[in-house]
Structure 1
Amino acid sequence: MRAVAARPERVAVVSGVGQGLALLLQVLAAEGRRKLAVEDPGSPGTLELLRAHGVRPVGVPVDQEGLVVRKLAASGAQAVLVTPAHQYPTGVVLSARRRTELAAWARAGGLVVEDDYDAEFRYDREPLGAVQGLAPERTVYLGSLSKTLAPGLRLGWAVLPGELVEPFAHAKRYADLGTGAIDQLAFAALLESGGYDRHLRAVRPRYRARRDALVAALREHLPEAELRGVAAGLHLYADLPDGVDEQAVAEAALRRGVRVATVAPGRLSPGRAAIALGYAGVAEQRLREAAALLGEAVREVR
């Protein structure tokens, strides 16, 4: 479904994307590659993970087409971490043109680490295959069940280029001796029965309805915010009005019982104030109420 080139011997089962990335960082660091290009803005948790493993993140800007690939060379990094299906936090989808450019960069000697974040949930756009299919020998593909089933189910996978299979397997072996077999067998049965596909078909319209409710409420209660990333995924990105401090907004919203994610902790260079709003686990009426409270919070700090 994702157009990934994956032979069984190239697939490693891991305890979520977090572990897959951590193991890969160990392998790259052992080869002397301690610099990794990342999308800017990106995930604060990912930046923390990189730094904890002694890897220096180098920011590459993101625009309306996704990662600005032509700026990769200037980063000096030999590897780049991307979320092309639905970038966090901006929600942008890496364009076909940029995917071609990224694959060409990889084939010229770079390594792409593709976190297939939110790929299963799209609403207003056609599906796009994974970047890995364009350069399978120069791409590490990471996926998990955290968004589709539950983050507490620590189960994911890494599809590896041939040269990384053995060192990655070695790192995995001595990290935990292997991911739990019972969870793997249960998920395999869910796949084989068609239950996983039925589950995805059932939740997509539910998440779309929640997305629609939140977008409509924000346009009513916070019309001055620019919404992005609405075509897919499980969160929205909202650029705040000029002059509004995002941390102050987050604190004012929390006092009203609404938790939002600020974007600044995921930036490596300055940018416009913005927040990310998750909607998957919240009922539609509660989302409408939250949007109204968020509008109050913004007006309070302006």
Structure 2
Amino acid sequence: MARKQTTSVTPSSGIGLDLHLELDGIGLRVGLTEALRAAVRSGRLASGTRLPASRALASDLGVARSTVTEYYTTLVEEGWLVARHGSGTHVAQRAVPRGAPEQDIQPHQHTLGLQPGAAEYPDFPRASWLAAARKALAAAPHSAFGYGDPLGRMELRRALADYLSRVRGVDADPRRIAITSGYHHGLGVLARALRAEGVGTVAVEAYGLGLYRHVLQDAGMETHALEVDERGARLDDLADLVPGSAAMLTPAHQFPTGHALSADRRNALLDWARATGGVVLEDDYDGEFRYDRKPIGALQGLDPDHVVYFGTASKSVAPALRLAWAVVPERLMSAVGVAKGRVDTVSVLDQLTFTEFVTSGKFDRHVRSRRQSYRTRRDQLVTTLAVRAPDVRVLGMSAGLQVALVLPSGTEERILQAATRQGFFVSGLSEFRHPLAPRPAPWSDGLVVNFSAVSDSAWPTALESLASVLP
């Protein structure tokens, strides 16, 4: 039986192309031709892939150039390769790899997605972001190209401290800010830090993203559901928690019901934290997008010693940046540093670009532009529903990137199915309810509609489709 070996052809010159081939021990010429046929046949070498020059490949294999030239010529004659003067040797165009099932190549069929998390991003500020990236890269010190501070670049932490203090009322010392790769990552870091400090229970809102409950549970913490009404999370059950527990809330704009935590409950929450040594995890969800008046300031500004403030660029700019931040009480910074690790987890170049984006004022202008656009969409949605579906109630205040709609009892599943048949997707309100919430839900049936999820051109069609399936 012929011996099979795997050979990775790497150019010794440093300027050629790498090529991985699996060679059978049946002679060099036959082995090479069979290995290349197999790579093309399987689709591993796609149509148009450029191959190493014959001289470079011969040098790497330690054979005469004429041997490789003959090898290439044979495969060109068989139709596996094409050789063009001045452009080298490439894998030939093949409709379907031999032995592979034929598949029709269809253009992507766009489906309107109005569920939270789905999005179109035609308004990403490409020009201003590119300008910020060029300026940041030109000014970056040589040290910026190393592994970086685990807590993030100090330039960005200073810029965020100024911005959050000015815009959200956060008490943000740069030394107490940790830069993370998105909110999901940041929450995981804090959960591990709290668990290391002995915190075993976190109170969460009865309505919220299950993904984040799982992050807490993965860190070994139990979650306790707090019911939600028109004044935000109900705090009665906090008295049942052991001292030193934590509570995770969205006080500026509860997700997904859309209510703000009332002033008396904000004070009661902080009183609980002070009296018990508890920690409040403040997810400033959609905090910058309030349309009827100035956004509500962050809870953290009232008690920075007991509140961890989370913010992110995912909603204001784009999730692809994987850029978020946590403003942490001094007593937890050591545990957060350990939980985050020894090396920065966020692209330093993206941090420097975002620093320039913030300090230049481009971030402020972008957020204001998005706020006006989303306000227009929300107003159009509310006006349309008032005419087309007067029995459907819009929950919450005029803020955020989605609305919760209260439906007649028993209709949620039927309407979700009707929406799917119409070619668009929304989420049911029940999808976000904590499975262990003890009391009956205050809103039994509903939808959560993300009005920021489609492009401007698609929005009228999406709005009409939504109105057509509502009672």
Q: TM-score, normalised by structure 1?
A: 0.92
Deviates more, 1:140-149 or 1:225-234: 225-234
Q: 1:285 deviation in Å? A: 6.7
Is the 1:86–1:233 contact (alpha carbons within 8 Å) kept by the matching residues of 2? yes
Q: 1:63 deviation in Å? A: 1.1
Q: Deviations over 1:205-250 (max 9, x none)?
A: 1111111111122222222111013411110011111221x23322
Aligned to 1:152, what secondary structure does the other structure show?
A: helix
Q: Deviations over 1:77-101 (max 9, x none)?
A: 7110011111100010112221111
Supply the distance in 1 between the matched residues of 2:395 and 2:376 (Cα, whole angstroms): 17
* 1:226 aligned partner: 393
Percent of aligned positions that are identical:
41
* 1:258 aligned partner: 424
Q: Deviations over 1:183-203 (max 9, x none)?
A: 110011011111111111212
Supply the distance in 1 between the matched residues of 2:459 and 2:408 (Cα, whole angstroms): 21
Q: 1:294 deviation in Å? A: 3.2
* 1:196 aligned partner: 363
1:100 to 267, 278, 299: 267
Supply the distance in 2 between the matched residues of 1:262 and 1:32 (Cα, whole angstroms): 36
1:52 corresponds to 2:212: no
Structure 2 gap ranges (5+): 1-166
* 1:80 aligned partner: 247
Q: Deviations over 1:88-138 (max 9, x none)?
A: 000101122211111111111221000111011110133221110111101
Aligned to 1:137, what secondary structure does the other structure show?
A: coil
2:406 to 232, 236, 239: 239
How many residues are matched? 297
Specify the code of the residue in structure 1 equivalent to 2:266.
R
Larger radius of gyration: 2
Supply the distance in 2 between the matched residues of 1:179 and 1:167 (Cα, whole angstroms): 19
* 1:293 aligned partner: 465
* 2:60 aligned partner: none
Deviates more, 1:285-294 or 1:107-116: 285-294
* 1:125 aligned partner: 293
Aligned to 2:255, what secondary structure does the other structure show?
A: coil
* 1:161 aligned partner: 329
Specify the code of the residue in structure 1 equivalent to 2:197.
E
* 2:202 aligned partner: 36
Is the 2:286–2:315 contact (alpha carbons within 8 Å) kept by the matching residues of 1? yes
Supply the distance in 2 between the matched residues of 1:177 and 1:37 (Cα, whole angstroms): 30
Is the 2:197–2:335 contact (alpha carbons within 8 Å) kept by the matching residues of 1? no
* 1:173 aligned partner: 341
Supply the distance in 1 between the matched residues of 2:396 and 2:222 (Cα, whole angstroms): 27
Aligned to 1:140, what secondary structure does the other structure show?
A: strand
Q: 1:296 deviation in Å? A: 3.9
Supply the distance in 2 between the matched residues of 1:225 and 1:76 (Cα, whole angstroms): 41
Cα RMSD (Å): 1.9
Pairing 1:269-288 to 2, within 5 Å after superposition:
269=437, 270-271=440-441, 272-283=444-455, 286-288=458-460
Q: TM-score, normalised by structure 2?
A: 0.60
Supply the distance in 1 between the matched residues of 2:218 and 2:319 (Cα, whole angstroms): 21
After superposition, the Cα gap between the structure-2 partners of 1:222 and 1:292, relative to the gap in structure 1 and judged at 3 Å, is: farther
Supply the distance in 2 between the matched residues of 1:237 and 1:159 (Cα, whole angstroms): 29
Q: 1:76 deviation in Å? A: 4.7
Is the 1:211–1:230 contact (alpha carbons within 8 Å) kept by the matching residues of 2? no
Is the 1:85–1:93 contact (alpha carbons within 8 Å) kept by the matching residues of 2? yes
Supply the distance in 2 between the matched residues of 1:189 and 1:284 (Cα, whole angstroms): 28
Specify the code of the residue in structure 2 equivalent to 1:163.
R
Aligned to 2:320, what secondary structure does the other structure show?
A: coil
Deviates more, 1:112-121 or 1:285-294: 285-294
